[in-house]
Structure formats: structure tokens, C-alpha cells
Amino acid sequence: MPTIRLAAASLNQTPLAWDSNRENILAAIGEAREAEASILCLPEMCISGYGCEDAFLSAGVQQTAIQLLGEIVPETRGMAVALGLPLLVDGKLYNVAAFVCDGHLLGFVGKQHLAGDGIHYEPRWFHPWDAGDVREVQIDGRPYPVGDLLFDCGGTIIGMEICRDAWVENRPGANLAARGADIILNPSASHFAFAKQEIRRDFVIEGSGSFHVSYAYTNLLGNESGRAIYDGGTLIASRGEMLAVGPRFSYADRILTTADIDPVATRQDRANDAKLRPPSGGATVEHDFSFPSPSKASAQAKPPKWDTSPPPKEEEFARAVPLALYDYLRKSRVGGFVVSLSGGADSATVATMVWLMVELGTAEVGQRDFVEKISHISGAQTARDKPALLRELLTCVYQSTRQSSKVTRDAACGVAQALGARFFEWNVDAMVDAYVDTVSQAVERSLTWETDDIALQNIQARARGPGAWLLANLSGSLLLATSNRSEAAVGYATMDGDTCGGLSPIAGIDKAFLLEWLRWMENIGPARIGPVPALSAVNAQQPTAELRPQEQSQTDEGDLMPYRVLDAIERAAIRDRLLPVEVFEAVRPQFTDFSDEQLGGWVERFFRLWSRNQWKRERYAPSFHLDDGNLDPKTWCRFPILSGGYERELGELREYVAKR
């Protein structure tokens, strides 16, 4: 049996973008053929897009996916390809991977373990396939097998684990290996989360070693449907050794990774392993085809230096969000991004992410290819160099009031200048005063800081929204909201103020980490890009909304609690689902510098503000999913808008703290 060149390709697809999805698939097949690959693994649901949501239930969508599969099959001459789509079988919808060989559709493998936690809702649309079950489906009057299948192509036996199938304890791969699989393919749509790639590496290496197979894993790439980010990162391993690793966070439409594998060697390993369990269920589809041997050795992909070991969280953050912004920019066809730059940490982070989008994207694919994907932006097309391109894509505005300081103004100006953004500044006091005067006359009294503190703070934040939106509308751009996850948890954000925007890039990340990341960006920065020293003007400040008179020395932590405490309470209460007393007990050892009364008061404040402000979280602009602490109620963390507010539990907390 000859050496076989195995390939995996990450694809940047879009739900229901049939023509571009097909062209990207065909281009990947063409590149694999040029690389002399014989077997190609493409991502889960790559034909329809993974994020179709309830559109999966449309008969038209299901039929169009089959139609596109039919258009792709003839283009697979001389090789085998696995690619994903939804499939209706006996009146039920399944998540399947089609297996095509040498221009022939051989059958479909059904996903056995659906992702129904976190941001995933697969059981809403799909049924899990039962292990061992094999049925038939009619397509254009012809029967095709579907289910728990292996494919024997000229003596080389290929099986599949689809995404979540490889994450469970009872992996289908064990049975596939016992039934004789030489190669296991894993078509995935695995969303990005910090440090998640290491888990993927582990199950690919472990699967290839314990199952005695060659294993190819592929993933989607980029911001597919708005919220989830896919980092790509193809992996090929054999006999417990990683052979090739594709880059992550790429700005290319597709990334192909290849490696040469020896089925004879893995087959001998299985023959010598007495621990393999007896095979059960399923079926094998045979097809007369011989995989050609490559004429030259594969140039196996090596990961970039920053990815050879678990990258720091700061590095992943600096690459995931800019890629997501780029795909959002080109897929939504907006004319650029506008940021209301306050001189503080949150807005500086958002503006820096847009700058990184241009820096990372042009460094990888070149300015010409980077701009080609955003050809709808005429100014980007005529930009002669990167500084001109940045000015077209990023506009910042500093909107002062009499509460604003020279410190924040200079910080905002300095950051905008360092990033190369187009920069404006204006004062909104006249608009604020007009609103206050109008309402004062209506209620027949003067509004004062002593009696109307929150209302007077909020009107300043809200008065900035219309101007920022107007600036964005002038160029068809998108206003980016600047609120973070910590503020979302406790409602420390003015609706229609700092939450203004059509996209909220950092609403999924906590403030304590953002402050650490900005210091990292000031001094280190991403590999091959470097730091932004101008961020020192932001990092030198205490975070403040600057909405009260300056003599009150307002700070965010003074209004709330220390951010490190807030974030620890939030993780315990929301991520770990602990009740108030349990939260207090969980965080108490971390904060010995505070008294029981202080910490208990902050725990109580968190739960009260959390319960009171669910309506705000419901209204946040779409945000990116970055970790398992996301508070987005549309994809991750659901909580009633109206509730009892933990009154009983907070009473128990007060009693508990008093007795300590």
C-alpha cells in the first residue's frame, strides 16, 4: 500500500452564501489536487454554512445544499473529499458529512453527538445519529447509504468523527478503528475560546495514537455568522505524533495543510494491539479506487512561533477579535468603523483592534488582497498605502463635556494619532444643556447633582450617541459600541450611550483582563506586529466615566467595586452558578485584604445589579464569543428579565456574614 497524502482545509464560509461557499470549496479541492493530496477533509456544514440557525429547518435550504453537493461531486476526480451539510432522512434532519471519491458520492456519515451547550443549539435543528445505525436516503431517485459508515477505497479504509464526536468519552473513533479504519477525518465547526486549541491538539494526537490511525482535523475559519469566531487550525497526526499544523486566525479564504501518511504502519499497530475492543455495528461502503502516491515529499506545515506552545491569552485576543472585525466588515458591507474614543481603556481597546485588523491582515495577505475583499469601500480601493487605508477604515471622535479632563482628551488624541485613525473632536455641552433645560421646564424644577445624579450622568452619555451615529452614517460605516463584560454584568453602562453601536466587540471580555491586555499592547504587542507605546496615556489613568463634576473624582471602581473582585464574583455567580453565600465562600480566600463586611456588601451589590439589569444585556449589540464567561443572552447566558432578585438568598448572605 503506497504512501498517501492527507489534506485538511480550513474554510471561511458564510451561512446561505451558496455561490461563494461552493467556489471556496472548489478552490480548496483544486489546491489539494495541485498539492498531490489524495484525501481532503473539509469543515462541518461547509456547504450551507454552520450558522444557518432556524433556516436549517427550511426545505428550500436543505434542497439547495443537496443541489450544491451535486455540483461539487464531479470536481473530485482522482481524490476523496469529506464535506458537511444538513440532510433530511426519514423526515428527520441530521448533521452529516458526505464522502465523495473520484467523482462519485458514496454516502453520508451522521453526527452522533450534538453540541447543545454554550453557544450551540444543534438539538434544536438536528437529531443525533444512533451508533451502528445505517439507512438509505433517496437523492434524485438514487439510494445512498447514510449513518455509521466506513469507506473502503481500494483497500484504504476511512471513517469520520464529526466535531463533538471527538470530544466525548465514548468516541466513535474507537469503534471505527476496531472495524479497520486506517484514517479518521474530523470535519468540525469548533468556535474559538481561549486555550481551546490545546484541547483539540490533545484529542487529535490521542486519537491517532490510541486508535492506531492517521487523523485529520479541520475547522471553519473567521467570523462565519456574526458572533462566533472560528480560528481554523488544521491538524494532521499519525501514530500519536503531530505531523502538520495549519495556521490559525488567517485572513485568507482557505488554508490547506498536508502530510504524508503510511496506512501500512498504522494497520500493523492495530494488529499488535490486543486492547482494541471488538467491532460493533455500522457498515462499510466499498469503492474501486487506488490512491496515487505523491511524486514528492509533502512540505508539512509548521505553526508560527507564537503558536508552537500554548500562546498567551493576550496574543489570542489580539488575533481573534481583529479577524472577526474584518469578516464583519466585508460580509456586512459597511463602509468602515467609527469609535467614540473617550481616552479610556474600553474605547482604546476597540480602536486598537481595528488597527490590528489592518496590520495583521495586510501583513499576511498584502494590502492588495486585503482590500480586494472590501471592494465595496471605494476609499479603500484608492488608498495608496497602509496609513491611507487605516484612515479610510477607522474614524475616532472625542466628545467632551465640562466634566472631561485634559488627560483623557490628550490620551484619545494620542491614541488616534498613533493608530493612524481619522480623528475628530467636539463638545456636547450645548446638547446636554438643551435636554436638561427642556426637562427642567417640563417638571418645573431645576435638576441638580444632589437630587438627580444618575439622570444627569446618563444624559451626557446619551448626548454623544447621535453625533457618533451621524458621523458613521456619512460614510455608511458601523459605530462600534465600547462596553465590556464587567459593565454588562452589573449594568454599569448607559443604554443608548456607551452601548451605542451596531456591534459590541469587547462585550464578551472582562475589564480586569482588558486593563492587562492594554499594558501588554503598550509594551509587547502581538508577534511580528509589536507594541503601541501611545497606550501608556490610557494605562496611566484610573478608569472613569467622567460623568460627574471633576471635583468628585469619579472612578469606575469607586462606583462599583475593584474590578478584580467584580470579575471573580461574576465568574462564581454566573459561570459556576453559585448562590450568594456560596459565592462569598468561593471568593473569600482570594481577597484577604478586604473585610467580610466589604466583600459581603460587594457580593450583594453584584446580585442586585445583575438581576436589575438583564434588560440591558438583552439590548446589547451583537458581541463576539471569546470564552465560557460570555453574558450574551442570545447565545450563552439566559436569565429572566423579571425575577425575585435573590431576595431570600441575599438575606441568608447577610446573616452568614454577620455570624462570621
The whole-number pLDDT of residue 147 equals 97
Q: What is the pLDDT of residue 552?
A: 87
Q: Is 183 left (phi over 0), alpha (psi -120 to 50) or beta?
A: beta
**Phi and psi, residue 226, nearest 5°:** 125, -50
* Structure confidence by residue, pLDDT tens digits, 441-470: 999 999 999 999 999 999 999 999 999 999
Q: Cβ distance 39 to 261 under 8 Å? A: no
Query: In terms of domains, do 336 and 263 share one?
Result: no
Q: What is the mean pLDDT of residues 34-48?
A: 97
Q: Which of 658, 550, 640, 642 is nearest to 604 (CA)?
A: 658
Domain finish residue from 244, 276, 304: 304
Rounded CA-CA distance 467/426 in Å is 9
Q: What percent of the chain has pLDDT over 70?
A: 100
On whether both 295 and 374 belong to a single domain, the answer is: no
Q: Give me the number of domains the chain comprises.
A: 3
Q: Are 537 and 448 found together in one domain?
A: yes
pLDDT score for 346: 96
The b-or-e profile of 575-587 (16+ CB within 10 A means b, else e) is eeebbbbbbbebb
pLDDT tens for 113-131 read 999 988 889 999 999 999 9
**In the structure grid, which three cell numbers stand for residue 264, read together?**
501500512
Domain harbouring 133, CATH code: 3.60.110.10
Kind of pairing between the strands at 241-245 and 235-238: antiparallel
Across 509-535, average pLDDT: 97
445 and 485 housed in the same domain: yes
- Asked if 533 and 567 sit in the same domain, the reply is no
* pLDDT given for residue 189 in this prediction: 98
pTM of the model: 0.96
Considering the domain architecture, whether residues 547 and 456 belong to the same structural domain is answered as yes
Query: Are 516 and 405 members of one domain?
Result: yes
Task: Give the per-residue pLDDT at 80.
Answer: 98
Co-location of 570 and 499 in the same domain:
no
pLDDT band at 265 (very low <50, low <70, confident <90, very high): very high
Q: Does residue 519 share a domain with residue 635?
A: no
Q: Give dist(CA 575, CA 475) in Å, integer.
A: 40
List the CATH number of the domain containing 412.
Answer: 3.40.50.620
Separation of alpha carbons 206 and 184, rounded Å: 12
Helix (H, G, I), strand (E, B) or coil at 100: strand
The better pLDDT of the pair 476, 290 is held by 476
Torsion of CA 532, 536, 539, 545, to 10 degrees: -100
Tens digits of per-residue pLDDT, 187-228?
999 999 999 999 999 999 999 999 999 999 999 999 999 999
Boundary (domain end) residue, out of 554, 574, 590: 554
Average pLDDT, the chain: 95
Residues 609, 497 share a domain: no
- Which amino acid is located at 650 in the chain? L
Q: What is the 3-state secondary structure (H, E, C) of 56-77?
A: HHCHHHHHHHHHHHHHHHHHHC
Q: Which of 529, 554, 579 is the endpoint of a domain?
A: 554
Question: In terms of domains, do 238 and 95 share one?
Answer: yes
Average of per-residue pLDDT across 578-600: 97
Mean pLDDT confidence for 490-495: 92
The stretch 35-58 carries a mean pLDDT of 98
Q: Hey, how many other C-beta atoms are within 10 angstroms of the C-beta on 110?
A: 26
pLDDT of residue 145: 98
Residues whose CB is less than 8 angstroms from the CB of residue 436 and which lie 6 or more positions away in sequence, other chains included: 447, 456, 459
Q: What is the pLDDT of residue 1?
A: 63
The pLDDT, as a whole number, for residue 310 is 84
Domain span including residue 603? 561-660
Give CA–CA dist 529/386, Å, rounded: 14
Q: Are residue 238 and residue 334 in the same domain, yes or no?
A: no
Three cell numbers written together for 156:
484504504
